[in-house]
């Protein structure tokens, strides 16, 4: 009886440690309806517009994919569709770009960007990176 109990405890411990290690090694898909993802997409607007040389500023249209991964800290990663807004570069300052000031421009340029936030809150370290994935053709569904 003691052998069976010890075996079950060992098996349970092994199973739990495997589940935890799987969560830590691989990115986990997140719910796209999470409101904080839209807020992050807007926070990345400054970085998206810094790496892009265009007549119009880009604003987020929608979050296409969201993942998180536990490492020595956490990595949150979003694929976000951005599109040209009605705000011209040089007119509205980047810090003033938001939905109240800049509306989505009909038939404007669209592009998909990868936005990543690496966070180590216990060290007060946060790093946001933005990388263009590709342009999105007019009429293409994402």
Domain ranges of the chain: 27-136
pLDDT classification of 81: cutoffs 50, 70, 90: very high
Of these ranges, 46-50, 63-67, 84-88, 133-137, the one predicted with the greatest mean pLDDT is 133-137
* Among the ranges given (19-33, 49-63, 65-79), the one the predictor scored with the smallest mean pLDDT: 19-33
Domain 27-136 has CATH 3.10.450.10: yes
Q: 98-135: b or e for each residue (b if 16 or more CB lie within 10 Å)?
A: eeeebebbeebbbbbbebbbbbeeeeeeeeeebeeeee
Give yes or no for a contact between 70 and 23, defined as CB atoms under 8 angstroms apart.
Answer: yes
* Among the ranges given (2-6, 26-30, 51-55, 65-69), the one the predictor scored with the smallest mean pLDDT: 2-6
Q: Kindly report the pTM of this predicted structure.
A: 0.73
pLDDT over threshold 80, residue 69? yes
């Amino acid at each position: 009886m003691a052998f069976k109990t010890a075996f079950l405890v060992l098996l349970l411990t092994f199973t739990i440690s495997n589940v935890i290690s799987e969560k830590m090694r691989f990115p986990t898909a997140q719910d796209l309806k999470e409101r904080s993802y839209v807020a992050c997409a807007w926070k990345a607007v400054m970085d998206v517009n810094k790496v892009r040389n265009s007549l119009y500023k880009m604003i987020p249209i929608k979050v296409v994919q969201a993942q998180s991964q536990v490492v020595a800290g956490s990595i949150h990663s979003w694929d976000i569709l951005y599109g040209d807004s009605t705000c011209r570069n040089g007119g509205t300052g980047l810090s003033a770009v938001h939905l109240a000031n800049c509306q989505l421009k009909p038939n404007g340029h669209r592009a998909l960007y990868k936005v990543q936030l690496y966070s180590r809150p216990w060290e007060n370290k946060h790093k946001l990176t933005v990388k263009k994935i590709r342009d999105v053709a007019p009429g293409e569904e994402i």
